[in-house]
């Protein structure tokens, strides 16, 4: 790190010299334009390549690689065009795999295709939707999945449990989109400025997105156990306490996400206080299930464990608000 002193000339103009080595490495010369961005936290970003956001980023993948994983990776890193090539004819199975892969990615379409090449393009701009709105949409689906999985247990609704499992794909798609937006913002000052976000906010949003995705995964676990129980009789007092725990978990992560997005530490405190109450219910439920020696104990303990993990993920989101 270099520290340079601010200079003043002409009575009202301030300037600071730039490192010569940096000028050389950027290939700059006198008269070249240099974009200056003011970040929300007060820092300035100097960008000699500010016009490059207009040029699409292109990635080339060999079909002989683990191309499904590579396509997702390039998408997450913000590439606009992904070209999949092969020395031989691309097989029908590989084409099917490619099409199944892009169904998991929002905004990706096939724009060119022949026997040895498939070109994908992401048609949605990282700046078209604010990160916080993507996060909210992702959260709304995840919290509804949790609510419906609990309802499916209480009402023994196998069909509802199955719909919860299917909705997990939409959460994953939104999760990939949020990660793509965050990585694009971190790599490109222009995108960060358009999204009105800072590096610290990007870090918090990335962690929050992963926790929300994990909440959805826990809802799927509950739904799978509802199907496995297949209508088995469960004591009413246990069902009522599971419902109470689920309601409390929803209250915690709702307050936690609001605390993060609104930068409201009081909401975070309320969420963490409620978390302590939820932990007590978890302990009571596990003890009760063991004492009653139920045939369904393994499935019920797994459901309680999933709700306990949701509470933990919610608490982690609340911690970010501090």
**pLDDT of 46-71, one tens digit each?**
777 665 555 678 999 988 778 889 99
- Is pLDDT of 277 > 80? yes
Exposed/middle/buried for residue 23 (C-beta within 10 Å: 0-12, 13-18, 19+): middle
Indicate the DSSP class of residue 15. Answer: E
How many Å separate Cα 33 from the centre of its chain? 36
What structural domains and CATH numbers belong to the chain? 7-50 (2.10.260), 54-122 (3.30.110), 131-320 (1.20.58.220)
**CB contact at 8 A, 101 and 71:** yes
The burial of 52, by beta-carbon neighbours within 10 Å (0-12 exposed, 13-18 middle, 19 or more buried), is given as exposed
**pLDDT at residue number 54:** 52
For residue 217, give the nearest of 101, 309, 121 by alpha carbon: 309
218: tokens are 């826990």
Among residues 160, 175, 288, 144, the alpha carbon closest in space to that of 224 is found at 160
Element (H, E) at 118: strand 117-122
pLDDT interval class at 198 (50, 70, 90): confident
Q: Are 285 and 248 in contact (CB under 8 A)?
A: no
Over residues 171-195, the pLDDT tens digits come to 999 999 999 999 988 887 777 777 8
């Amino acid at each position: 790190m270099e520290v340079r002193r601010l200079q003043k000339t002409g009575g009202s103009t301030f300037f600071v010299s730039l490192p010569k080595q940096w000028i050389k490495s950027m290939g700059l010369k006198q008269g070249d334009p240099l974009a200056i961005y003011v970040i929300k936290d007060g820092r300035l970003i100097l960008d000699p390549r500010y016009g490059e956001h207009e040029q699409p980023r292109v990635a080339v993948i060999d079909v002989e690689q683990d191309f499904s994983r590579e396509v997702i990776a390039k998408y997450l890193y913000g590439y606009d065009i992904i070209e999949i090539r092969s020395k031989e004819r691309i097989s029908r199975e590989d084409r099917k795999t490619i099409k199944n892969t892009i169904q998991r990615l929002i905004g990706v379409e096939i724009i060119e295709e022949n026997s040895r090449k498939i070109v994908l393009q992401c048609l949605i701009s990282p700046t078209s939707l604010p990160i916080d709105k993507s996060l909210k949409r992702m959260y709304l689906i995840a919290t509804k999945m949790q609510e419906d999985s609990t309802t499916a247990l209480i009402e023994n609704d196998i069909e509802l449990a199955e719909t919860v499992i299917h909705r997990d794909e939409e959460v994953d798609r939104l999760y990939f989109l949020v990660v793509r937006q965050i990585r694009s913002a971190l790599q490109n000052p222009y995108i960060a400025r358009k999204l009105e976000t800072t590096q610290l906010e990007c870090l918090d949003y990335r962690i929050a997105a992963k926790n929300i995705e994990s909440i959805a995964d826990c809802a799927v676990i509950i739904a799978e156990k509802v199907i496995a129980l297949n209508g088995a009789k469960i004591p009413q007092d246990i069902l009522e306490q599971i419902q109470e725990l689920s309601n409390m978990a929803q209250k915690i992560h709702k307050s936690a996400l609001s605390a993060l997005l609104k930068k409201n530490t009081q909401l975070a405190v309320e969420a963490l206080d409620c978390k302590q109450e939820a932990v007590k219910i978890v302990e009571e439920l596990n003890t009760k299930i063991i004492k009653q020696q139920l045939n369904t104990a393994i499935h019920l303990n797994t459901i309680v464990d999933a709700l306990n993990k949701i509470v933990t993920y919610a608490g982690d989101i609340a911690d970010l608000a501090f």
